[in-house]
């Protein structure tokens, strides 16, 4: 009997369009940052509905550029969620700034507005609001805090809040095209903004050959990355439709189980970069049981949350602590076929019962 193929947690959707895009770059014999990067920047600008975009080599470095362009420096305070990728903490550290870590909301896993408001001081120079797993944060509330807002859209390109694309609300927004993100380029990132002055700062910071005085960062994207990213962006609508459809199937299939299901914020269009479930009992046992069924489910923030990296008291971050103990991500990506989706459902149900 033929053995069933193991279902990975994440898998990019790569086809003819990406291969042709790479071939087009190779034919030019110019692989560094060039016209393909410019075209990709223009495409993201149009998709997000902002004034302009600046491509970078990674999403983490896009965030670093955004922080520096907004005037974050040594001693500045930056608000950020504990339940997020460590890259946020790294970018703040690159600036010599002080990370002010906040808990997240239980209903959507996004930065807690109440916590951010409580921890705001005169030294706060920026707040990083991540739209976690494709679920938009209530970004308009954070804009009312009176400090620059950076939207972290690494999970959420194509999501909307109150009819506007995420990334169009903040002073800056950053995107990632790393290999497990919504659209992929292997690596790569992007900063978008609606201020001509801010965009000028971002471009000068990234351009080591410019004549103005100051520290420069060689954070360039390559044309190879940009070509793949542009090909993926053209398929974004289909990617979203596929993920939302699978999410709907999961909701129905798991409705009778004692697990929590993803929540979408009021006014938000959730695009399901991840499908998160909250389970009872030992999550490691749950993962092992799914693995035995040929399906990989996983913790997406690991091994530690940001407050755990910093050894801050867990009692101050009860929601993040709960998520780290009990929340797992189920495979959800466009290249899953019907049989694989049914196998995932079977594995989760078996582990939950």
Q: Above 50 in pLDDT, residue 352?
A: yes
Q: What percent of the chain has pLDDT over 70?
A: 97
**Eight-class DSSP state of 298:** B
Mean predicted confidence (pLDDT) in 130-146: 95
Residue 247 has pLDDT above 70, yes or no: yes
Compute the average pLDDT of residues 130-142.
96
pLDDT at 24 over 70: yes
Note the pLDDT tens digit of each residue in 265-300. Answer: 677 899 999 999 999 899 999 999 999 999 999 999
| pLDDT (0 to 100) of residue 260 | 76
pLDDT at 135 over 70: yes
CATH level 2 (architecture), domain 16-233: 3-Layer(aba) Sandwich (3.40)
What are residue 100's DSSP bridge partners?
Answer: 79
pLDDT band at 261 (very low <50, low <70, confident <90, very high): confident
Class of domain 236-352: alpha beta
Q: How confident is the model at residue 96 (pLDDT cuts 50, 70, 90)?
A: very high
Q: CA neighbours within 13 Å on the CB side: how many for 106?
A: 8
| Predicted TM-score (pTM) of this structure | 0.95
Q: Does position 148 have pLDDT exceeding 90, yes or no? A: yes
pLDDT of residue 268: 84
Secondary structure tally for the chain: helices H, strands E:
13, 12
What's residue 267's pLDDT? 78
Quote the DSSP letter at residue 225. H
Neighbours of 235 (CB within 10 A): 16
pLDDT of residue 353: 84
What count of other Cβ atoms lies within 10 Å of the Cβ of residue 307? 23
pLDDT of residue 263: 72
Burial degree of 95 (CB within 10 A; 0-12, 13-18, 19+) = buried
Examine the pLDDT at 331 and tell me if it is beyond 90: yes
CB atoms within 10 A of CB 110: 25
Q: Where are the alpha helices (DSSP H) in 73-158?
A: 86-94, 113-119, 139-143
Rounded distance between C-alpha atoms, residue 308 and residue 323, angstroms? 13
Q: What is the pLDDT of residue 154?
A: 97
pLDDT-derived band at 3 (thresholds 50, 70, 90) equals low
pLDDT at 114 over 50: yes
- For residues 57 and 40, the answer to whether their CB atoms sit within 8 Å is no
Percentage of the chain exceeding pLDDT 90 = 90
Q: What are the residue boundaries of the structural domains of the chain, listed by start?
A: 16-233, 236-352
CA 126/CA 201 separation, integer angstroms: 16
Residue 213 has pLDDT above 70, yes or no: no
Arithmetic mean of pLDDT over the chain: 94
pLDDT confidence of residue 196: 97
Residues 6+ apart with CB under 8 A from 272: 133, 134, 243, 244, 246, 247, 262, 332
Over residues 159-176, the mean pLDDT reads 97
Distance CA 112, CA 73 (A): 24
The DSSP call for residue 23 is: H
> In this predicted model, what pLDDT tens digit does every residue of 49-70 receive, in sequence order?
999 999 999 999 999 999 999 9
pLDDT in the model for residue 2: 52
Q: Are 181 and 194 in contact (CB under 8 A)?
A: no
């Amino acid at each position: 009997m033929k053995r069933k193929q193991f279902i990975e947690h994440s898998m990019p959707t790569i086809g003819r369009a990406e291969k042709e895009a790479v071939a087009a770059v190779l034919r030019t014999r110019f692989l560094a940052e060039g016209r393909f990067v410019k075209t990709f920047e223009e495409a993201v600008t149009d998709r997000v509905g902002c004034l302009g975009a600046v491509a970078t080599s990674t999403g983490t470095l896009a965030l670093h550029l955004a922080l520096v362009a907004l005037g974050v420096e040594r001693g500045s305070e930056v608000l950020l969620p504990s339940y997020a990728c460590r890259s946020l903490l790294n970018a703040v550290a690159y600036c010599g700034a002080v990370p002010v870590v906040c808990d997240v909301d239980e209903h959507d896993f996004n930065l807690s507005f109440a916590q951010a408001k409580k921890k705001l001081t005169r030294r706060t120079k920026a707040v990083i609001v991540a739209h976690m797993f494709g679920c938009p944060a209530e970004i308009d509330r954070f804009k009312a805090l009176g400090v620059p807002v950076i939207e972290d859209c690494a999970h959420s390109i194509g999501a909307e809040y109150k009819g506007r694309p995420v990334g169009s609300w903040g002073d800056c927004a950053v995107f990632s095209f790393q290999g497990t993100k919504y659209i992929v380029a292997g690596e790569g990132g992007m900063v978008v903004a609606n201020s001509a002055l801010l965009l000028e700062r971002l471009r000068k910071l990234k351009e080591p050959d410019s004549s103005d005085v100051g520290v420069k960062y060689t954070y360039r994207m390559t044309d190879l990355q940009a070509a793949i990213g542009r090909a993926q962006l053209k398929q974004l609508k289909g990617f979203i439709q596929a993920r939302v459809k699978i999410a709907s199937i999961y909701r129905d299939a798991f409705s009778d189980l004692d697990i929590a299901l993803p929540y979408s914020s009021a006014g938000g269009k959730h695009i399901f970069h991840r499908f998160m479930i909250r389970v009872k009992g030992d999550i490691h046992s749950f993962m092992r049981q799914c693995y035995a069924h040929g399906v990989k489910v996983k913790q997406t923030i690991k091994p530690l949350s940001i407050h755990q990296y910093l050894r801050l008291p867990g009692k101050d971050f009860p929601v993040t602590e709960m998520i780290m103990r009990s929340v797992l991500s189920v495979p959800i990506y466009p290249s899953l076929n019907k049989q694989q989706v049914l196998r995932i459902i079977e594995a989760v149900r078996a582990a939950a019962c």
